[in-house]
Amino acid sequence: MHFGPHLLLAALEGLVTSAVLALTALGLSLVFGVMRVVNVAHGEFFMLGAVLAWAISTAISGHPALGFLAALVLAPLIVGLIALVSERLVLRRLNYNPEATIVATIGMLYIIQQLALTFYGPEARPVEPPFSYRILLPWFGYSGYKLSIIAASALLLVATWFVLTRTRIGLVMRATQYDSETAQAFGIPVDRVYAGVFALGAMLAAVAAVLIVPISQAHYLMGQDPLLLSFIVVIIGGLGSLRGTVVAAVLIGLSDGIISVFFSPTLAKIIATLLVAMVLVFRPQGLFGTASR
Amino acid sequence: MTDKNGFFDLSKTGLTRRTALKGLAAGAGLAVAPGFVRYSQAQSSAPIKIGFQSHRTGIGAAYGRWYERTTAAAVKAINEAGGINGRPVEVIIEDDGTDPGRGAEVVGKFATQHKTDIVYGTLFSHVVIGSAPAAGEAKMPYFVVSEGHHVASTKLNRYVFQPGITDVKSQIQAMAPWIAANAGKKVTQIFPDFAFGYDHRDYLPPALKAQGAEVIAQIAIPPTESSFTKYFPQIPAETEVIYHVMVGPAVLTFVKELGEFYGSSRPQLFGFIDSLEATDINSPGLEFLDGSHFWEGSPRYAQPVDSAAQKAYRAAVGIDDNGAAVGDPKDVSTAAHMFGCWETLYVVKKAMEDAGYKGPEDRAKLVEATEALTEFAEGPEHPQGPKTFNGKIHQCFGIQNISKVEGGRLNVVHKTKIEDGLYEPEGDYTTQAL
């Protein structure tokens, strides 16, 4: 294959990765930014989204788009609910202590993963895409659905940005992120904001998973990679910075796509990790993060 | 990040001397409980204990589940027919997490804690390779159902056997003539980047060369990869056959993305069913495979030529004519491999009876009796087909099936002969000390 089409394929693959990564990492970043909780179980919420998408879309007969749309709405809501319950039952009881919540979310990771293995099983199960249009380029074919993921993700990111910066809920969240004690003094129910943010973070991961599942099957171990990449993105972009997260996701996604097409996927991972190290050394707050006070 | 609430301060967790003493007492009580020492000396009526190292979790979990079902069915049949040497068989399952490190620990646990007579069952080649030294050290006969060439390579040790399933080198050699004659002469290989994939990488090129065909590109993909389109530009345009053998949960994605990449103008495809074990061949996105060919150890779909033994085996394990669990068409089996569990257990039975096996002190006798086996006739104990066994390399040889995807099922179009897969032994385990 010639260089031009080869690069195009690499860029397309990279953009799909970026789109899903941006949503997942944004969830992680929000939870850290507002609650100062490092949610190690974030990848499992991603996995739950995909598994529920499978369950919902197989329960609904008729055109595959119906099942998929139902999954796109319901799966994140259910995952959000699960996150809400676990926040109430676990994180709140630990007073959001940073070290304790890391250990607790590691525990949640294993519990969710093994429950999925018990009730869903070890198979990788497919979800039919809502439409299966194949775009025929002169050099190779490409899935139309994959391109629609990029659009859907961009839409969701804009919506999240709108909620965070232009609504009252967003204002309350930003106030809590900036200084939770002062926010509380001004009558903001910090406790409820935490619960909501944790649920929202999980929902973003779940939405990303529903989008990706028609091209990459639901499997009970699928949460590991997104978790690792989300951490990389969040560290590079700056914890709690929406803009930084999106920029870092595109950067990591594209470089992963292009480097792994032209060189090797292992090199792509090496470079991403190196980038994290460089950022941590020279700009610990991340590219767009603000230095901690 | 200070430890304000003292979560990590052990002095605050309330572990008093009293609690510690209680715990010690409970532990001691457990150790002297009657059940704990029941079989410390083998008795004539005590069950023969088989330690089953199972992939219950990790990337091999789908295989583990079906290996357990097949094992349960075989043990039931053996026990109903009077057990081994008149003793019932008991299977003890431990999860290895499809992980080599844990695999070795599990073998140690079987040897020292459960005190099983043998260890058996595992599939993934890296787990076998990781566990074999532990089995050798414990002088524990270790019967694997793995398909890799590692046992037959004689690089493991005298306690490791693979009597129930053929190895990759033999499979490739048997099928290469068919590939060269029917699929194409210019082959691109796509394989997982670990031991099992390397068997394919190393043995396919010479096998094809002997048939006047050649491997023009080899693409190794990390076993944890979840997206594959980025590898496809490496497939040379002049490729006539893509030879794919992938494992793990992302295999369906692999085939779907290959379909999107090529559309209808694809090269011929020849794959190992490992790429789609436990996956419904009629899953959305797999229409692309229609007309392609697969290796199958034992056919997933019931075939018109199935023997009575094959039918009885399928009924005993509980799979329907489509190779899915009876009553749950979505629960697709790993039929191409799991027959090996059934057959291996019958080989163990035969060898234990030949050796007059009484207990762990006879393990060396069991090893020698297994090495003395030469042939397994097709029948209820060996439903996949007849086999020969080479005691020097601890490996069996049998027939292979090449199946075509047509009409939403896999139909066997070619069966190889045992002789097609024979090769010169690379060593001799029997020269090693017991």
Per-position b or e across B283-306, b if 16+ CB within 10 A of its CB = bebbebbeebbbbbbbbbbbbeeb
Does residue B128 share a domain with residue B275? no
Residues in chain A within 8 Å Cβ distance of B233:
1, 6, 9, 140, 261
- Chain B: closest CA distance from residue A122 (Å): 5
Does residue B301 share a domain with residue B178? yes
CB B96 within 8 A of CB B122: yes
Residue B264 lies in a domain: yes
Query: Which residue, among B281, B230, B288, B226, has the nearest Cα to B259 in the 3D structure?
Result: B288
Say if the Cβ atoms of B1 and A126 lie within 8 Å: no
Number of independent structural domains in chain B: 2
Say if the Cβ atoms of A117 and B61 lie within 8 Å: yes
Say if the Cβ atoms of A103 and B7 lie within 8 Å: yes
**Percentage of chain B exceeding pLDDT 70:** 89
Say if the Cβ atoms of B230 and A142 lie within 8 Å: no
Mean pLDDT over residues B17-38, rounded? Answer: 51
Does residue B345 share a domain with residue B240? no
Does residue B247 share a domain with residue B135? no
Does residue B115 share a domain with residue B194? no
| Option in B7, B224, B330 nearest A100 (CB) | B7
DSSP state of B111: I
Q: How confident is the model at residue B412 (pLDDT cuts 50, 70, 90)?
A: very high
Residue B223 lies in a domain: yes
Provide φ and ψ at B318, rounded to 5°.
Answer: 90, 45
Domain boundaries, chain A: 23-223
Residue B227 lies in a domain: yes
What pLDDT does residue B268 have? 92
What pLDDT does residue B26 have? 56
Does residue B391 share a domain with residue B350? yes
Residue B27 lies in a domain: no
Residue B12 lies in a domain: no
> At B396, which helix (H) or strand (E)?
strand B395-397
Its domain, for residue B81, covers: 48-167+339-398+426-431
Q: What is the CATH number of the domain that holds B103?
A: 3.40.50.2300
**Percentage of chain A exceeding pLDDT 90:** 47
What pLDDT does residue A1 have? 66
Mean pLDDT over residues B46-61, rounded? Answer: 92
Say if the Cβ atoms of B8 and A99 lie within 8 Å: yes
What pLDDT does residue B43 have? 52
What pLDDT does residue B35 have? 45
Which tens digit of pLDDT belongs to each residue from B377-409?
Answer: 999 999 999 999 999 999 999 999 999 999 899
Mean pLDDT over residues B28-46, rounded? Answer: 51
Say if the Cβ atoms of A221 and B260 lie within 8 Å: no
Task: Considering only residues B309 and B13, tell me which one the structure prediction assigns the higher pLDDT.
Answer: B309
What pLDDT does residue A239 have? 74
Say if the Cβ atoms of B250 and A124 lie within 8 Å: yes
Does residue B193 share a domain with residue B73? no
Give the residue from chain A lying closest to B66, CA to CA: A122
| Option in B3, B252, B261 nearest A141 (CB) | B261
Is the pLDDT at A103 greater than 80? The verdict is: yes
Does residue B351 share a domain with residue B250? no
Does residue B213 share a domain with residue B131? no
Which tens digit of pLDDT belongs to each residue from B339-391?
Answer: 999 999 999 999 999 999 999 999 999 999 999 999 999 999 999 999 999 99
What pLDDT does residue A291 have? 57
Which tens digit of pLDDT belongs to each residue from A122-138?
Answer: 878 888 888 878 888 88
Say if the Cβ atoms of A94 and B263 lie within 8 Å: no
Q: How confident is the model at residue A121 (pLDDT cuts 50, 70, 90)?
A: confident
Which tens digit of pLDDT belongs to each residue from A205-256?
Answer: 999 999 999 888 888 889 988 998 899 999 898 877 888 899 999 999 998 8
Query: Which residue, among B201, B208, B93, B194, has the nearest Cα to B146 in the 3D structure?
Result: B194
Q: What average pLDDT does the structure give for chain B?
A: 88
Residue B310 lies in a domain: no
Residues in chain A within 8 Å Cβ distance of B57:
114, 117, 122
**What span, in angstroms and rounded, lies between the C-alpha atoms of A248 and B423?**
54
Give the residue from chain A lying closest to B193, CA to CA: A266
What pLDDT does residue B1 have? 46
Which tens digit of pLDDT belongs to each residue from B160-206?
Answer: 999 999 999 999 999 999 999 999 999 999 998 888 899 999 999 99
**What span, in angstroms and rounded, lies between the C-alpha atoms of A85 and A288?**
32
Task: Considering only residues B417 and A225, tell me which one the structure prediction assigns the higher pLDDT.
Answer: B417
Mean pLDDT over residues B285-309, rounded? Answer: 92
CB-facing half-sphere around the CA of A272: CA atoms within 13 A: 28
Residue B334 lies in a domain: no
Which tens digit of pLDDT belongs to each residue from A150-203?
Answer: 999 999 999 999 998 899 988 998 888 888 889 889 889 998 999 999 999 999
Does residue B358 share a domain with residue B344? yes
Does residue B279 share a domain with residue B221? yes
Q: Which residues contact A183 (CB under 8 A, 6 or more apart)?
A: A172, A175, A176, A190, A193
Residue B43 lies in a domain: no
What pLDDT does residue B12 have? 45
B261 touches chain A (CB under 8 A): yes
Does residue B115 share a domain with residue B257? no
